[in-house]
Each structure stands twice: as C-alpha cells, then as structure tokens.
A and B are shown apart, each in its own frame.
Chain A
Amino acid sequence: MLTWPALLAALLASGAADADKPLIDPLAEARVRVSAFEAAKSLRADAERSRLMRSAALARLRALTAQNPIDIVHTDIKVAPDVPSQTVAATITLRIAALEEGVSEALFTFVPAGEPAVDDGQGNPLDFVLDADYGMISVALPAPLAAGEETTVRFSMQGAPDCSPDPYFGMAFCAMEANFVFFITPMWVPMKAAYDYKDFYTSGKVDLDVVTRPGNVTVSTSDYVNRESTSEGMVHHFKGRFAADGVSFAYGPFDIFESETKDGKPVKAYIHTGTTAYGQKWADIAADIIDLFSARFSPYLYDKQDVVQTGDELGIGGAVGPQSATFYYAGALNADPAGVMSESVFSHEIGHSWWGNMIRNGDTWSPWLSEGFAEYSSRLYGYEVWPARNQNYLYEYYFRYFALTVPPGNEVPITGEKIYTDDLNLYSLLTYDKGAHVVRMLEWLLGDEVFFAGLSKLAEDYGWEKTRAVMDVPALAAELKQMSGLDLAPFFDQWVYGTGYPVYRFAAEFGGEGEKSTARVRIEQIQDSDTVYDLPIEVEVWVGEEEEPRRFRVEFDGRIADATLALDAPPRALKVDKAAWIWGDKLPALAGDVDGSNEVDGLDFVYAAWAMGGDFTSETAYNYYGDADFNRDGKTDADDMAEVTKNFGEKGTIND
C-alpha cells in the first residue's frame, strides 16, 4: 500500500510536466485524492469559537427577548495559570458603555473558572445571576446608565477553567501542559451577549497581562509590550490596538522564526514541540499568504501575525483564526510545507483576518460569510502555489462528497435558521464547502477583475475598524451588483437562499479537419427540479499537441447551451467545467469516455480497469476516479466498466 509520504511525493510529481502524457493526464486528480481527503477532514475540524456555546446563549436571549444595549469599550485581563493545580487566577475589568437611555443590566457570555466575584472596580460588590447551563451572566449595574455613559464591571475568580472538548467539533480550546499553556478565546473572559451578530461585536481593545514561571515565551492576539519579573512570577504585558473579542494567548518554550510581509509587518512562527526544521518556511509562507490576500482583498490592518503551534487538544487538523494570531494543532507546524494539508489550514485561518475579523459577519444565519470566504481564500492561495488541478479537484471533491452523502431532502439553504443543524457533516459541507463554492461561482460569474474590485470595495465599506459596519448577505449582494451592473438576485435566490444544484449532461462532436477543425458541444441541464441555472459554463478543449486546454465560456439559453467552437487544429479531448467553477454535476452523454477524447477506446478501458474497486468514501481504495464513475454511485466498479465495454469503439455525436 502507498504510504502517506509516498502520496505526497506523488502529489508533488503531479505538478511536474510529464514528457509523455497519454492525453490530458486524466489521473492527476486521483493522485491528489488522498490529500484532498485529509484536507477536507481537517477543515471539518476547524472552528473559530464554540458555536454551541454561542447558540445556547442566543437561544437564551431569544427566550428572554432581552435587549443588551451595551458596548464593551475596554477589556483589561490579568491571568495567572497554575499548571500543577490546573487552575487559573484571573481578574477581568470591563469598561462598558450604554447604547441607550436607562441601561441597568448588562449581559455577558461567561463560563467562569471557579466561583466568580463581581464588583464595580472599587471593591463594591455587584449583584449578578449566573446561568451555568447557558454560560451566561447578568450583572445588575449600580445605577441606570444614560446613553453613552460608562461604568466598570470587574470579574475575579480562581479555579479550574472549562477545557473540555467542544461537543460539536470535539476541539478543546485550552490546555495546561507541564511546560506549555494555551487559551484560545477562553470562555472565562466575559463577552457581550447578543441575540444577533449585528449586536455582538464590541469596540473595546484588550490589554492582557499573563503571569508565567520564568523562561517562557508568551504570544497573544494583543501586541507584545514587555515583560517584568515580579514577586508573582514573570508578567508579560500585551496591549491591544484593535477591537478584539477573540482574545487568545499561549506560552511555553517557543522557538521563534521571523519573517515579514511586503509592507514590513512582522510574521512569526512559534514552535514548542517537534521538529523546527520547517519553522522558517512556515513563517515565510504565512507572510506570503498575507501578501496575497492584501493584494486581492484589502490591506492587512493588524500590526503583526503570529502563527502559533498548540497541542493535539485541537484535534488533528484543528485550528483557530482570531485576529493577528492564529493557532494550530501541533503537527501543522512540524510538517514539511511540501504537504498540501498544513498550507490549506494556514491560509484558511489567516483568511479569517479578513473574513470574520477585519470584515465582520453581521448575519447570524450566514456562517458561510466567514467560513465559506475563509475556505475560498484558502483555495485562492492554493492556486498560487500548487498546480491548478489540485485546487480544482478539492472543489470537485467537496461537491461530490456533498452529492454522495447528503440526501436531497436534507439540504438546507446556506443562509437561514436551519443552517445550525446538529448534523456536523451537513453543516460543514454547506457552510465551508458549498459556501466557498458560492464565492467561487461569484468569481466565475463576474470575472476576476470585477469580483476582486467588489471585494476590495466591500472591505472598504464594511471594514469594522473604520466603519463599525458589519457585512450581511444583502450588503454583499449590493456591493457586487454595484460593481458588476448585473442583477444578482437570481443568483442569490438559487445558491444562497435556495437548495439544489444543476446536473449537466454534455455531448460533443468533433468535425472539420486541420486548420478548419471544430468542436461542437451541447450541454443540457437535466436536474429533477424546475430550477434553471443561467450561469455560463466553461468548456475546455485540448487542441493539437497543446499541453494546456483552450477555454471557452458557453452561455445557456434556458436549459440548453449549444456552441460550435472553431479551432485551428484538431481537438483531441473536451471536458465541461473541469475546473469545477460550478457546484453541480457534469456527466458525459457518451458513457464510457473517461478522458474526454469523445471516443471510448483502449485508454478508457485501462483507466476503468485501474479504477475498479475504487470507493469515494474509503481512505484505502483511493483509486476511485470520478470521471470513470458513470452512474455516480461513489464507486468505480463493474457497472462503470460495463459502460466502457458497451460503448467501446463509439464516437460522440450530437443529434439535433
């Protein structure tokens, strides 16, 4: 059996130009299959904060129909973890402001470490009601606040923090190991409770003091100031420059590898365990990722980026992306960047600097606005550093995984209350994978120039630090409509507020000869639903001896697209949407034609013979080959081989 490193080597080899290709190197995608499988698994494990905690809080607030008209204008944290006793001592001082007249109560999400005490910062206790089930605390303010008036609420506690795994993703967001401690968005830091994302974000910056034993390096989402030796231990001071509700930190015996972005912002990789051989490369790659997103989306606002190794508590493949510091499972930073997996996790999390942090998701019912965009960003970086077919295949893989594992009746719109299903597979496939694909379809529909200009404008108009505005689906639609002049309402109705996907069946006919060759293609939408998709579709034609296909954009008239493409040399293969621009299925009318040569012949037979026994959902039978799975049952087997032998020697034609 091929081992994992051997598959990585094969993946790399697939990027090299093969001197003697059969036709279009049809099995390149089979070579990336296992990597794709791993990457998809890791992304499924990704979560930014505990969604369950938040939705519990949301449920609570909806039940109360309570408003919580406060802003947290400053957060000051002093925390001293004690590893031997597995406890923390923490004091968190919030400065809050009323957003309207007569605010007498403030609500926070809060899971304290031990019994909390709450006072006004002067030692005068404040009444509070702690609801442990929902992770909420309601604090009675000393006197009703006038609009704009500020007051102080201080929380003190000492005890064991809740570092149990998130029941949804199975990730633990904190751990106190012998010589390594991390807390990612700890729940013992009170955050504003809100019934809607539009009201969730606060303006306050976070100052942080972390007390450690000597000899540790500490890193956080706030900016490092200095450290001093005190009677309590070594105190590491951090100061926030940007609004942060995802405050996180880690300390340990880190080795640090330094790089910087093109505009000189420091990017550092922190490694405390395992090999450091790739630390410098990862720091450089993180800087490259920021440079790419800065160029494509908008300037990187934060002062730095720290790429931090944690432990296995995040689960293999798990990572979290708050602003200016991103946290990864241990193996990610120990891996050779030649492996595609870590790179895709880094680019996803750093993508959240834009999607979720600089541009905040104001739509509670559209988690894809942060996750789908972050995942799209990850693929975008992948296209920069890997052969395009690797990323294309990831898009195709996501769709196929969805089509094979989600019964049609179970699908829900990616925007809407039903998205918060308890089915993690469904949630992930829709929010991360279909979400990313919806962004990719917008890119395809609008074209790169208009699409990226639209995203830049969006970042300008909805940059939280500048405008305090949050993005939602109507805002996204309006910005892109303004930029493109296109009526995008049907697109959003079909892909965002609706369910289902197109199924295209394409037939080809090669004609003419020499410099007057043609390839005619006729594509029919055969999905069961009444929905007609008017997205144009890409047809790739391999011509003469050319290595790269020529690409054509074909428009639909109703359910049919029919185009005759003039070529100056004979076509040798044709494929429809091989780059997987569209979340949908594409089937050849000529069953048995694996490689798109428009004839079923010996090469198709060899490919189908190789793929026999391949199973899409298996990690071992990775010879599943999508283009040889003619009945789309997730297996390449005797049924598919029967299509090859039935049509053996046949050429594709189009009958009007």
Chain B
Amino acid sequence: MTERARKVLVLLASAALVACMTGCYHVEDKSADAGGAFGFEAEGPGKAGDVWLELESESPAARTFTLKVLASGLKQVYGAAGRLVFDTKVCALRSAAPGDALEGGKAQVIAKGGPNAEGGVFGISRSGDFETSVDLGSGAVVGTLTFEIVGSGTTDIAFVPERSHAVTHTLESVAVAHWLGGTLNAP
C-alpha cells in the first residue's frame, strides 16, 4: 500500500468515527476497494476507555495483513482477550504478538492468536508477575494480530463483547466502553 492510500484510509476511519458518534454502528462505506489491493476500514480510533483495531501493515504479495490492538485510558490491565467474528471464507487469524503497552517490571508479555469456528480468538497478557498490572495511556499498543486473506469479499471484523475482556491482576474485568473492530475488503 502506498503512503497516499494509507492517508485515505485514515481519513475514512475518521469519517466512520464521526458517523458512529451520530448513532450508526456499521461502516457501510466500502470505497477503500481500489485496484485489487485489500483494505481495512477501522471503526476506531477509539476514545479513552475503548479498545480498537487499526491496520499496521499489509503484504499483498503474501496475502497477509496485521492489525494493531490499541487501547486508551484503561487502568490496571493485566491482560486482554478478544473474540472476533468475521467471514472465515475471506480471512483467517493466524497469530498474535505482544505490543509494548503491557510491559513493565519483571513480567513477560505473551500472546496467542488463532482461528475458531466463527472467526478468531486472541489473548495478550503479562505473565510471571501475578501481582501488578499496568495503566494504559492514550493509543497504547496492546499487541498485534496477523491475518491471512483466504478468499475475496468484504467482511466486518467485530468483537464479541461477552468474550472480549481486559482484566486486572486479580482477574476482575476492567470496564471497556467500546470494542471497535472494522471492515475488511478483499476483492
């Protein structure tokens, strides 16, 4: 993807956010489809208290793309778990990797992502220190998710809130206002 195209996507994402603030939840604008490349329209960026996905990179040749899992303003996070639903004929979640947001002290940050029947699941967590969590600032990168394009089409990549949670080191839920996914277009 060219730098120009990326800027277009960011602008579209901003537009989607405005649209959502006015009450719409679904992004219907599929105009990112341009000349055989695939694109991801994020529902975010989110605000304080949100978790959202954002495109980090894509490799049209390898038919893969990587999404960042970002969060803002969450307090006392030990780990985050997400369940995503999407059209598994279009893409597949292959792996997850830790970002730097959960680092600190003697804990390691570990991650796991993979497919399930309805889409994919991932977990990103501190480990090796069960007594401390970390506060997340603005736009903190919790981790990344790498997907493979397995077919063509358009699909929402949406969180299932019941199984998507940020938790503290006492494993209580951290309140998250919105779990924001996005839309993949793979022509």
Contacts and interface: CB of A to CB of B under 8 A. Distances in A.
Interface string B2-20: 0000000000000000000
Interface in A389-410: none
Contact of A22 (B110, B114, B171): B171
A453 to B, nearest CB: 41
Interface residues of A, number: 37
Contacts of B178: none
Contacts of B173: 18, 20-22
Contact of B79 (A25, A31, A606): A606
Contacts of A20: 172-175
Given A18-B172, A572-B162, A609 B116 contact: no
B112 A605 contact: yes
Interface stretch (A309-317, A551-559, A594-602): A594-602
Interface in B132-187: 162-165, 167, 169-175
B53 interface: no
Interface string A311-328: 000000000000000000
Contacts of B162: 23, 572
Contacts of B127: 609-610, 612
Interface in A622-639: 623
Contact of B81 (A10, A26, A603): A603
B163 A602 contact: yes
Contacts of A614: 130
Main secondary structure of the interface of B (DSSP, over half): strand
Contact of B123 (A25, A599, A609, A613): A609
Contacts, number: 106
Given A2-B131, A572-B162, A602-B81, A609 B114 contact: no
B80 interface: yes
Interface in B80-127: 80-83, 110, 112, 114-117, 120-127
A187 B160 CA distance: 68
B165 A601 contact: no
B117 A651 contact: yes
Interface of A: 1-2, 10, 18-23, 25-27, 30-31, 572, 597, 599, 601-607, 609-614, 623, 644-645, 648-651
Contacts of B124: 602, 606
Interface of B: 78-83, 110, 112, 114-117, 120-128, 130-131, 162-165, 167, 169-175
- Pick the most buried of A25, A610, A614, A648: most chain B CB atoms within 10 A of its CB: A610
Contact of A606 (B115, B117, B125): B125
A645 B111 CA distance: 10
Contacts of A31: 170
B112 A30 contact: no
A602 B172 contact: no
Contacts of B125: 605-606, 609-610
B104 to A, nearest CB: 15
B175 A610 contact: no
A70 to B, nearest CB: 61
B176 to A, nearest CB: 8
13 contacts: A10-B170, A20-B173, A21-B173, A30-B171, A31-B170, A599-B121, A602-B121, A603-B165, A612-B127, A612-B128, A614-B130, A644-B112, A648-B112
